[in-house]
Amino acid sequence: MRLGWVIVLVLVVDSSTPAVTAALVEVTASGVTTRAHRCTVDARAHGELLAPQVDAVLADADARPADLHAIVAGLGPGPFTGLRVGLVTAATMSQVLGIPAYGVCSLDAIGHPAAAGEPVLAASDARRREIYWAVYDGAGGRLVGPEVGAPAVAADRARELGATAAVGDGAHRYAEVLGLPLRAEPRYPDAGALATLAAERIRAGASGDPLTPLYLRRPDAVAATARKPVLP
Amino acid sequence: MADEPLILGIETSCDETGVGVVRGHTLLADALASSVDQHARFGGVVPEVASRAHLEAIVPTMQRALTEAGVTLADVDAIAVTAGPGLAGALLVGVAAAKGYAIAAEKPVYGVNHLAAHVAVDTLEHGPLPEPAIALLVSGGHSSLLLVDDLARGVTPLGATIDDAAGEAFDKVARLLGLPFPGGPYIDREARAGDPAAIAFPRGLTAAKDLVAHRHDFSFSGLKTAVARWVEARQRAGEPVPVADVAASFQEAVCDVLVNKALDACRSRGVPTLVIGGGVAANSRLRAMAEQRAARHGIRVRVPRPGLCTDNGAMVAALGSHLVASGVAPSRLDLPADSAMPLTTVGV
Ligand SMILES: [Zn+2]
């Protein structure tokens, strides 16, 4: 089903970085317009912050949940616990409302809007002295990634691909190691970009995605080893 | 009765994703997805593995619960969710899910205490709980003795384990005996063929001096070590390990302490009702021993059927139903998941 000229209301959520984001956007045949936007930077309170922000953007736009036509969620990569908050919010709301939910790589919502003719490295903080990263071409198309690893490794790969700048909170944090000129914005996944990257699917009325998180790391767990004896 | 509140409950504090639906005290659906098989090779629940499984399971489990109950989210009066205590990352998936459902369906959400929910679930089988009551909650994650004055507003902790949880001791002894994880059901099965008096294992915190400072507390670490020593001594002597006798004697020691301390709490406070909940409450010896010994003191024991003792969504819905009926206000949307939620908090 093509929605054509119709204006549809879309909820956007992302919790893959310390920036907890909720936005309401209008997707039309020609573009994406933000109607309401809330973003709070706090790495420790994704669970507390996101739901009130979703509630607030609906109120700001004078909309009810039943007015939504689709949900777009950042799939990460990102620290697992916070990342899941956005995805479970999108999945449950999509289930109740019977509307599709679309997943977008969260790094794309940093790298795509930052693209300006030459390749760029987008990075977010992966903790443990690592970054989640991807490299984008001059038009914002992803060339490599998403991956997780040491900033130095990402920098080497980005230079091989001709990157002339770095963007995102992870790039700011490891600016010295990366040694690339920084773009100030976007620092975190941009809600408008998330919607733009899903817009074609929204307009086409495509069926939703399973919203599988881009974890990139295995759970920390070791298989049980032989038990230590208690007798000396 | 159709005018009683229709409540949905979500549980994700450990390795079970549960969604239950109740109307008043009537259970309509209890859907469960477990990640227990994914933890077996680690010998215990791995928090990140559990959290990932909750995210995958929550939507289909909700769908099964609604279908089983023959209702939609639009029919529901409120959504209750375990807000703590439990594994932080696991709790967060359930709390975020409850908020997503609550916002989309425009329903109130109640964040509730997991331990209080283990008490409340009994109302689905045995009706309203007489108050005050004593509750014994024993599982792989908790071992607590509580005074339940007012289940809608607060529960008084009397005692708890000072080291391992009772269920943890079952898991560790099972591993020692070469039995699978989780150990509880396997120990229970082996013990049926064994002699509970074959080996005199220690009863933690029951000596006269311990009863002063730790009258209502538990300790299972010493018992676990005693079993390990006994089994290793056998193995070193080249003798076979009588698995059934070890299982029966270990189980007897655990149940003996749990039941005696619970009944002591009832008698010392003049409380005639004992409720038992948690995964270990599914143990057949614990149930039988509690019934027998309580009868001697005129104390009534209430234990839900084994499927309701382990973690599930119905218990959360049951507590939510009690909170709604008691006029407790719903939680705010900034409700946090609290891995160390105290017992004095029933709803947040
Ligand atoms: Zn439990």
Residue at A213 is within a domain: no
Helices marked H in B237-283: 243-269
Give the lowest-confidence range in A118-127, B71-80, B147-156.
B147-156
Indicate whether B231 pLDDT > 60: yes
Q: What is the pLDDT of residues A61-79, one digit of tens each?
A: 999 999 999 999 999 999 9
> Are A26 and A100 members of one domain?
yes
Residue at A136 is within a domain: yes
Task: For residue B346, name the pLDDT band (cuts at 50, 70, 90).
Answer: confident
Task: Domain of residue A69: give its range.
Answer: 8-106+189-203
- CA distance linking residue A231 with residue B272, whole number of Å: 44
Contacts B335 to A, Cβ<8 Å: 48
**Residue-level pLDDT at B37:** 86
> Are A18 and A93 members of one domain?
yes
Indicate whether A99 pLDDT > 60: yes
CA–CA min distance B238, chain A (Å): 15
Collapsing DSSP to helix, strand or coil, A119 comes out as coil
B28 interfacial to chain A (CB closer than 8 Å) = no
Task: For residue B306, name the pLDDT band (cuts at 50, 70, 90).
Answer: very high
Average pLDDT score over residue span B245-268? 97
State the pairing for strand pair A70-74/B109-113: unpaired
- The residues placing their C-beta within 5 Å of ligand 1, an ion, are B 139, 311
More confident site: A227 or B12: B12
Q: Binding site residues of B for Fe cation, as ranges?
A: 114, 118, 311
A24 pairs with which residues across the strands? A11, A36
**Residue-level pLDDT at A2:** 52
Beta strands in B24-84 (DSSP E): 26-34, 78-84
- CA distance linking residue A100 with residue A204, whole number of Å: 12
**Tokens 């009868």 — which residue?**
B295
CA–CA min distance B97, chain A (Å): 6
Is-contact B97 A93, C-beta < 8 A? Answer: no
Determine the residue of chain B that is closest to A227 in CA distance: B176
Residue at A232 is within a domain: no
Mutate to test the interface with A, among B38, B48, B103 (most CBs of A within 10 A): B103
Q: Say whether B100 and A81 touch across the interface (CB within 8 A).
A: no
Residue at A227 is within a domain: no
CA distances, A6 to each of A27, A29, A48 (Å): 8, 7, 34
Mutate to test the interface with A, among B46, B55, B179, B338 (most CBs of A within 10 A): B55
CA distances, A172 to each of A11, A41, B240 (Å): 28, 15, 64
More confident site: A184 or B210: A184
**For A224, which of B42, B58, B229 is closest by C-beta distance?**
B42
Backbone angles phi, psi at A171, to 5 degrees: -70, -40
> Are A100 and A193 members of one domain?
yes
CA–CA min distance A45, chain B (Å): 8
**Cβ density class B246-259: b for 16+ within 10 Å, e for less:** bbbbbbbbbbbbbb
Cα–chain-centroid distance for residue B156? 17
Task: For residue A1, name the pLDDT band (cuts at 50, 70, 90).
Answer: very low
How much is the mean pLDDT over chain B? 94
> Are A43 and A53 members of one domain?
yes
> Are A15 and A40 members of one domain?
yes
Q: Which long-range contacts (CB under 8 A, 24 or more apart) does A145-153 make?
A: A145/A107, A146/A76, A146/A77, A146/A105, A146/A107, A146/A214, A146/A216, A147/A216, A148/A77, A148/A216, A148/A217, A151/A123, A151/A177, A151/A178, A152/A177
Sign (positive/negative) of CA torsion B89, B91, B97, B99? negative
Q: Is A119 left (phi over 0), alpha (psi -120 to 50) or beta?
A: beta
CA–CA min distance B104, chain A (Å): 5
Average pLDDT score over residue span A205-217? 94
> Are A196 and A87 members of one domain?
yes
- Rounded distance from Cα A100 to ligand 1 centre (Å): 34
**Residue-level pLDDT at B39:** 87
ipTM of the complex as predicted: 0.94
Contacts A47 to B, Cβ<8 Å: 92, 95-96, 336-337
Collapsing DSSP to helix, strand or coil, B239 comes out as coil
> Are A198 and A88 members of one domain?
yes
Cα–chain-centroid distance for residue B74? 30
Residue B328 CB-density burial (10 A; 0-12 exposed, 13-18 middle, 19+ buried):
middle
Residue at A158 is within a domain: yes
Of B191, B105, B154, nearest to B343 by C-alpha is B154
**For A227, which of B73, B99, B175 is closest by C-beta distance?**
B175
Contacts A209 to B, Cβ<8 Å: none
Quote the crossing angle between the two packed helices A80-97 and B47-69, to the nearest 10°.
10
Residue at A64 is within a domain: yes
Indicate whether A59 pLDDT > 80: yes
Q: What is the pLDDT of residues B127-142, one digit of tens each?
A: 999 999 999 999 988 8
How much is the mean pLDDT over chain A? 94
Q: Binding site residues of B, as ranges?
A: 114, 118, 137-141, 171, 184, 188, 283, 311
Is-contact B254 B285, C-beta < 8 A? Answer: no
User: Number of structural domains, chain A?
Assistant: 2
Q: Looking at residue A161, which CATH number applies to its domain? A: 3.30.420.40
Determine the residue of chain B that is closest to A57 in CA distance: B103
In this structure, the number of other CB atoms found within 10 A of the CB of residue B239 comes to 9
Q: What is the pLDDT of residues B142-193, one digit of tens each?
A: 899 999 999 998 899 999 999 999 999 999 999 999 999 889 999 999 999 9
> Are A102 and A112 members of one domain?
no
- Rounded distance from Cα B137 to ligand 1 centre (Å): 8
A97 interfacial to chain B (CB closer than 8 Å) = yes
> Are A100 and A113 members of one domain?
no
B333 interfacial to chain A (CB closer than 8 Å) = yes
Quote the crossing angle between the two packed helices B184-191 and B166-176, to the nearest 10°.
70
Amino acid at B35: S
> Are A15 and A94 members of one domain?
yes
> Are A100 and A150 members of one domain?
no
Q: Is A65 left (phi over 0), alpha (psi -120 to 50) or beta?
A: alpha
Residue at A226 is within a domain: no
Q: Say whether B96 and A223 touch across the interface (CB within 8 A).
A: no
Task: For residue A223, name the pLDDT band (cuts at 50, 70, 90).
Answer: low
Copy the structure tokens of residue B7.
């409540």
Cα–chain-centroid distance for residue B293? 22
Copy the structure tokens of residue B294.
């309580």
**Residue-level pLDDT at B124:** 97
Indicate whether B28 pLDDT > 60: yes
**Residue-level pLDDT at A229:** 74
> Are A94 and A117 members of one domain?
no
Residue at A209 is within a domain: no
CA–CA min distance A117, chain B (Å): 39
